[in-house]
Amino acid sequence: MQEEIPHYFLAKILQRLARKRFVKSVKGVNGGFSLSASPESLSLYLIVEAIDDLSVTLTDCIMGNKTCSETRSCPLHDSWAKLRAQQLEFLNEITIADLAYATGSKKEKHDKRKI
């Protein structure tokens, strides 16, 4: 499957994943990138955290307040806390293996329709 991701953008993503040791890179004609760990052990949370700082989504106040906590909360604090918990659960439950399987299943269904 081709995603049309700009080369420079993809290179930055792969560099960040390599720094976290989720992928390893090999230079040269037969070089490239490969996973450093099993796809079953790499959660979507680990990958997203390596690429993008999740602290903004998971800890900062949705309304932009400098202080927002259980004792001093913004109007959206409780609702946002529930959504954050759901996000964390989702990102931690899904693995790279799950994504690969889902992608393969969808491709297989699509290919069968062509027959």
Domains of the chain from N-terminus onward? 7-114 (1.10.10.10)
Q: Which residues are paired to 24 by β-bridges?
A: 34
Alpha-carbon span 34 to 16, nearest angstrom? 14
pLDDT score of 1 more than 60: no
Global model pTM greater than 0.75: no
86-98 pLDDT, tens digit per residue, is: 988 999 999 999 9
Report, as an integer, the average pLDDT of 31-39. Answer: 89
Distance CA 80, CA 87 (A): 10
**Identity at 95, one-letter amino acid code:** T
Give the residue, 34 or 3, on which the prediction is more confident.
Answer: 34
pLDDT in tens, 40-71: 999 999 998 888 877 666 677 778 777 777 78
